[in-house]
Amino acid sequence: MTIPGQQDFSRTGKRQNLVALSKQGHRLIKAGAYQEAFEVFTQALAIEADNPYILTGIADSLRAQKEYAGAEDYYRRVLDRDPNNLFALRGLGDTFRDRGEHDRAIVFWQRYLRQRPQDIFVLTRVADGAKMLGRFDEAENGYRKILSIRPDDRYCLMGLADLYHKFGREAQAIEFYERVLERDPQMVNILTILGNLYRRRRELKSAQRCYERVLQLDPHNAYALYGMGETCRWRCDYRGAIGHWEEILRHHEGNTGLLSRMGDAHRNLGDGETAEHFYRQILDRDYDRYALLGMAKLRCQQERFAEMFVIFEEFLRREGESARVWEEMREILLRCEGKCALPPDMQRKLEALDR
């Protein structure tokens, strides 16, 4: 029993120890020592079993170790006693997000936002979650709300740009990626994304500008070199394209798409031997429709029509006789028009397609 006016040193000592353990646990979390943090918080829990700071600390350390069921249990213990606890609402939302359950995560973040409606970090979580769920309007409204609070928030600008990109709104995506670069002009990943968007829209000067900026920062960047090659290809500058793609092959392993592009570029320059070399690199390893079609175009160019028809037979066997497949073959045959006679079966198929 404590006599009035006297200090309860036992209770004061426990409180001081609890605070010290709590601070130590949070320091360990910040340092990434999650299991050690869990052990420290567990010691603190023995002093005060229902302390919300300790319970959420344990939950945070478990979530960081991907022990989501345990984390959820501790967050819910806090919310059972205090349904409006901000740390538990945010943490439980984060737990569901980390498990890929974005719809459930949003429910708890929205409960958090009823108390702190202008928390940029949680507003961003909600908008990101809505984007992951494909809920365009909800995500867009969320990002726009953040920008009304903090107009130059980089993460929000990136989120909104990515949203527009994913939903095919390329002009808006470009607008917001450019705004991201105004804040940080050396973001290589954003520069390459932006370059690809400009290239898809055939805005080749803008695409080249982005790729050149990447190559100033990272001279061997494969994505920028490939993009530069593609801008040259669209201008029919096949030698320029080859130069950039050869730079990739000097520093990186070439994939089938790049090797096929190299074959096409050499074919367009009339260098059939080198073109065939690249197509063979692909086809000797495995079947590839683009390399096989490239080889058919090469045989057409070389007027080696019997070999071209053999390639067509393989193409039909591999791809099936769909209208799309016949269209691709007819495009090649148009280049050979008047130079070769089609096999009767192929002639009938193409005539039927024309009808």
Integer Cα distance of 252 and 221 in angstroms: 9
Within a domain: residue 314? no
For residue 339, being part of any structural domain is answered with: no
96 within some domain: yes
Q: Where are the alpha helices (DSSP H) in the chain?
A: 9-30, 34-47, 52-64, 68-81, 86-98, 102-113, 120-132, 136-149, 154-166, 170-183, 188-200, 204-217, 222-234, 238-251, 256-268, 272-283, 289-301, 305-319, 323-335, 344-354
Please give the tally of structural domains in the chain: 1
Q: Is residue 34 part of a domain?
A: yes
Specify the CATH number for the domain of residue 41.
1.25.40.10
Residue 174 belongs to a domain: no
Q: In which domain, by residue range, is 109 found?
A: 18-117
Q: For position 353, what pLDDT does the model report?
A: 65
pTM for this entry: 0.83
For residue 4, what pLDDT is reported? 43
Instruction: Flag whether 181 is in a domain.
Output: no
- Identify the pLDDT of residue 16: 81
175: in domain? no
Domain assignment of residue 81, yes or no: yes
Per residue of the chain (355 residues), give pLDDT as tens.
Answer: 444 444 443 566 677 888 888 888 889 889 999 999 889 889 988 888 889 999 999 999 999 999 999 999 999 999 999 999 999 999 999 999 999 999 999 999 999 999 999 999 999 999 999 999 999 999 999 999 999 999 999 999 999 999 999 999 999 999 999 999 999 999 999 999 999 999 999 999 999 999 999 999 999 999 999 999 999 999 999 999 999 999 999 998 889 999 999 999 999 999 999 999 999 999 999 999 999 999 999 999 999 999 999 999 999 999 988 888 888 888 898 888 778 888 887 877 777 766 6
pLDDT of residue 5: 43
